[in-house]
Structure 1
Amino acid sequence: MQRISTEVNGRPMAAWRAPGRRPPVVCVHGAGVSSRELLPFVEELGRRNEAWAVDLPGFGASPGPAYPLGLRALADAVADWTAAADLDGVVLLGSSFGCQVAVDAAVRHPDRVAGLVLVGPTVDAAARGFGRQLLRWLRNSPRERVSMAALNIADYRDAGTRRVVDAFREALRDRVEDRLPHVRVPALVVRGAGDRLVPQDWAEEVTRLLPAGRLAVVPDAGHMVPYRRPRELAALVGDFLSGGLAAADARGGGRPGRRAAG
């Protein structure tokens, strides 16, 4: 893999790239963390498809402004980065809060996005509260690798308390379900079978709200499928790229128009 820094709106944004066939898959990490949690998947997918993992501004190796950026600004940064990196027709893969960022980017920047993969999409509308989310996170933790916790702690420390707390607040404030019906590209929703943050009924609701969505469940996985089951996720994404997304392109439906909702 290759680490690349690209200037976006006067600031560098860092990303990891694994070369492969297009379309490019651009991965967006979760709240308060960095692209490091996505690298096992990027490396695996890069065996067949071009894959990227980008650090959002203020996280990982991407410096941000003095103040934390909101969800819309993070989505704008992702869209602007794809343009600066000269990547057209990207498939955005969001992980956890990254799904909310990816959905916002797809709805408001439809000319940049050809498809979506939503892995462990947050936040369940039936449990949009700090206490309930914390309880679910604690119940999910035993299902993740110990090394995942070490990565998260290091990322939280590097980002700083203010940015981390603000990212989680953004996740809880965002009503992603209101924007899902406005996604005009094919979408794959992925849930770990043991995910305690994203229950099956919420994953099914996300899929139902998407005009062109389908759901896949990965056995023996918790919330962080890209880290715990990178090979299985890469196989699902590869099938999506060569199946549903390719079929939409053949019908002329893979690249939406420029009109965005909201």
Structure 2
Amino acid sequence: MSRPDRFEIEAAGQLGHVFVSRGPAGPLPARPAVVLIHGIGVSHRYFRRLHGRLAETGDTYSIDLPGFGATPRPAHALSVADHATYILGALEQLGVLEFVLVGHSMGSQFAVEAALQQPDRVSQLVLMGPVVDSKRRSVLQQALALGRDSLFFESPSSNALVFTDYLRCGPSWYLKTLRVMMDYHTEERVASIAAPVLVLRGANDPVASADWCRRLAARAAQARLVEIQGTGHVLQHNRAAEVAEAILGFAGTHATAKETLRENPA
């Protein structure tokens, strides 16, 4: 895969980066664009393997949100809704009006909020390693789970990507964003999502536990839970092929169902 094109985009008064790969031209069946949203402290870099897999079959977008990666820090902490507004505005500027939205970790919160703000644009929603477990809503519990994940269930390369991005993010911005993450009740917001939802987790992930993901999926109107074996929280890097297959299978199933409904209205 060629290197994605990088676009610097200002939306909702904030500046971020969008990395774009156009899908191959030819006889392959069209699929909706897939948009990848990173979590707290990190950037598009830990999506590179997954981005490459997805770009083999269609348009793929990875976003560095304001304050993360190489983007400038906003003047104040942004709410989950602020990030969602940026995502929607940036994609609109690129002409991406309907898409499958994939959020990892805190990015799952941004994805949920974007789907609530403009539900007609999000055809399917993928919550990958979602946070924050409603039964473990303290910073200490989250930190212990993340530490356990990095020690026992991550590869050296996934740890290197995450920790170097944490250094770029810096402790001040990380802690400001952490407060926002901890105050957002994903399980309450997901209950109002109209789009089909895929909850996707690494089978060894101590951050997004099996119990939490089952409870979260149960709150959504239409949801499926899929576990990827042999990996932890950063499953999109360590098991990119399996994650891409799960996302595309989910998106393709629901896209087919949607087309059938359009052809055969009740």
Which runs of structure 2 are paired with 1:221-240 in the superposition (5 Å)? 221-240=231-250
Number of the residue aligned with 2:4: 2
Q: Which has the larger displacement, 11-20 or 25-34?
A: 11-20
Specify the alignment match of 2:143 in structure 1: 134
Assess if the C-alpha contact under 8 Å between 1:91 and 1:117 holds in 2: yes
The equivalent residue for 2:179 is 169
Q: Answer whether contact 2:31 2:252 (CA < 8 A) is retained.
A: no
Matches within 5 A, 1:155-234: 155-234=165-244
Note the alpha carbon deviations across 1:160-186, whole angstroms, 9 max, x for none. Answer: 222111222211111111111110111
Deviates more, 1:60-69 or 1:198-207: 60-69
**Alignment RMSD (CA, Å):** 1.5
Instruction: Give unmatched runs, 5+ long, in structure 1.
Output: 253-262
1:143 Cα offset (Å): 0.6
- SS in structure 2 opposite 1:179? helix
Amino acid at match of 1:14: H
Q: SS of 2:71's equivalent?
A: coil
Query: Is 1:124 the counterpart of 2:127 in the alignment?
Result: no
In structure 1, the partner of 2:26 is none
- Measured in 2, the distance between the counterparts of 1:202 and 1:3 equals 36
Structure 1, 1-10 or 71-80: larger mean CA deviation: 1-10
Select between 217-226 and 166-175 the one with higher mean Cα deviation: 166-175
Q: Secondary structure at the match of 2:59?
A: strand
Cα distance, 1:237 vs. partner? 1.0
Please say if residues 41 and 166 of structure 2, whose CA atoms lie closer than 8 Å, have aligned partners that are also in contact.
yes
Task: Please give the per-residue CA displacement for 1:54-83, whole angstroms capped at 9, x wherever unaligned.
Answer: 000111133242223121111111111111
Instruction: State the distance in 2 between where 1:85 and 1:56 align.
Output: 15
**What letter matches 1:95 in structure 2?**
H
Moved more, 6-15 or 192-201: 6-15
Identity, in percent, stands at 31
Once residues 246 and 89 of structure 1 are traced to their aligned partners in structure 2, the CA distance between those partners, rounded to angstroms, is 15
* Aligned mates of 1:42, 1:181 — CA distance in 2: 28
CA drift at 1:249: 4.3
Structure 2 CA distance for aligned equivalents of residues 150 and 217 of structure 1: 24
